């Protein structure tokens, strides 16, 4: 099954163009949507989830016309929004059971089986009687995935799921997503480069409503290979460098500022060429004029 997004555009009433002629074909597996805050990722996710209409364009999932057959889409969609909203003082077991009823799983025995299996899969079974409002960030995200998987979705959308998780929880969450990605289309929207590097077969970088780059993480890295240069500078000099070259990132290391510059040729004395990483791809793409 393929998710096909064709010529999708959206301008908000205040004149902001959040999506500018987006075209994507997405198949089974983990698909990374990488972009800075405000790039338009959430707008695109909400549009794919049929929660908001674009001004123009079309979206199909298999033979479902997403923008016209919203009810059909919702039956086969799992969505973990950026902000799940409030967390009631209800046990995870009861809340998930409630969501299962809403999803139309009416047979009580079948529902119990599904709910228990999802709590097991997301490693929450032991904590199922605790209130979701008392869960840690990582547990909440895993609960979010459990509710998203109700009804065996063919398409799962997760919007910035690992922001604020500690490394162990992030790792756990990654493993859970990879497992799901073996069966269905998973779209992971994030501004965390490592999430995409570790998990996604295909990726795009989005900025200002536009798809700037598309491919596998390896292809993306190959596209900037031999063009990333590093230099340690005095931190007061950074603005001079910014004016004269495409400084894509700067990090403080041992009290010195290390800058990475994107350039076809050696940008000046003291620079050394370094092997490119996905972070260099990301920053060179979003700092492009």
In terms of Cα–Cα distance, which of 61, 74, 16 is closest to 185? 61
Longest distance between any two alpha carbons in the chain, whole Å: 72
Piece of the chain touching ligand ATP by CB under 6 A; list 30-38, 61-69, 109-117, 265-273: 30-38
Piece of the chain touching ligand ATP by CB under 6 A; list 8-16, 91-99, 234-242, 258-266: 8-16
C-alpha 128/C-alpha 96 separation (Å) is 9
- State the minimum distance, in angstroms, from the CB of residue 134 to ligand ATP: 27
Of 150 and 211, nearer to ligand ATP (C-beta) is 211
Q: Tell me: does residue 18 bind ligand ATP (CB under 6 A).
A: yes
Over its C-alpha atoms, the chain yields an Rg (Å, rounded) of 21
Q: Tell me: does residue 42 bind ligand ATP (CB under 6 A).
A: yes
Q: Tell me: does residue 38 bind ligand ATP (CB under 6 A).
A: yes
Among 30, 39, 100, 278, binds ligand ATP (CB under 6 A): 39
Among 3, 24, 26, 43, binds ligand ATP (CB under 6 A): 43
Among 2, 16, 55, 268, binds ligand ATP (CB under 6 A): 16
Of 93 and 156, nearer to ligand ATP (C-beta) is 156
- Contact letters (x/-) for ligand ATP, 71-90, by CB under 6 A? -----------x--------
Among 24, 26, 35, 284, binds ligand ATP (CB under 6 A): 35
- State the minimum distance, in angstroms, from the CB of residue 121 to ligand ATP: 27
In the block, residue with structure tokens 């077969």 = 201
Name the residue number minimizing CB distance to ligand ATP. Answer: 42
252 contact partners, CB below 8 Å, separation of at least 6:
235, 258
Size of the site for ligand ATP (CB under 6 A): 13
Among 24, 34, 40, 147, binds ligand ATP (CB under 6 A): 40
Q: Tell me: does residue 128 bind ligand ATP (CB under 6 A).
A: no
C-alpha 71/C-alpha 88 separation (Å) is 26
Q: Which residues bind ligand ATP (CB under 6 A)?
A: 12, 14, 16, 18, 35, 37-43, 82
């Amino acid at each position: 099954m393929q998710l096909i997004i064709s010529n999708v555009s959206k301008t908000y009433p205040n004149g902001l163009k959040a999506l500018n002629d987006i075209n994507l074909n997405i198949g089974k597996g983990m698909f990374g949507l990488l972009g800075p805050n405000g790039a338009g990722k959430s707008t695109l996710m909400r549009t794919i989830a049929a929660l908001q209409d674009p001004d123009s364009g079309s979206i199909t999932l298999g033979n479902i016309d997403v923008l016209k057959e919203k009810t059909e889409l919702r039956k086969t969609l799992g969505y973990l929004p950026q902000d799940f909203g409030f967390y009631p003082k209800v046990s995870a077991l009861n809340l998930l059971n409630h969501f299962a009823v809403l999803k139309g799983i009416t047979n009580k025995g079948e529902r119990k089986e599904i709910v228990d299996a999802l709590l097991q899969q997301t490693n929450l079974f032991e904590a199922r009687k605790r209130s979701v409002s008392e869960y840690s960030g990582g547990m909440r995200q895993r609960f979010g995935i459990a509710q998203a998987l109700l009804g065996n979705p063919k398409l799962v959308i997760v919007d910035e799921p690992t922001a604020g998780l500690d490394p162990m929880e992030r790792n756990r969450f990654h493993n859970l997503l990879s497992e799901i990605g073996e069966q269905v289309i998973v779209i992971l929207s994030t501004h965390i480069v490592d999430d995409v590097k570790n998990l996604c077969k295909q990726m795009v970088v989005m900025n200002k409503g536009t798809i700037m780059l598309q491919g596998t993480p390896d292809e993306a890295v190959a596209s900037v290979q031999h063009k990333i240069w590093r230099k340690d500078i005095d931190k007061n000099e950074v603005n001079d460098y910014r004016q004269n070259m495409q400084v894509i990132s700067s990090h403080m290391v041992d009290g010195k500022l290390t800058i990475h510059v994107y350039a076809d040729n050696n940008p000046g004395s003291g620079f050394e060429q370094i092997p490119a990483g996905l972070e260099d791809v990301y920053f060179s793409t979003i700092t492009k004029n």
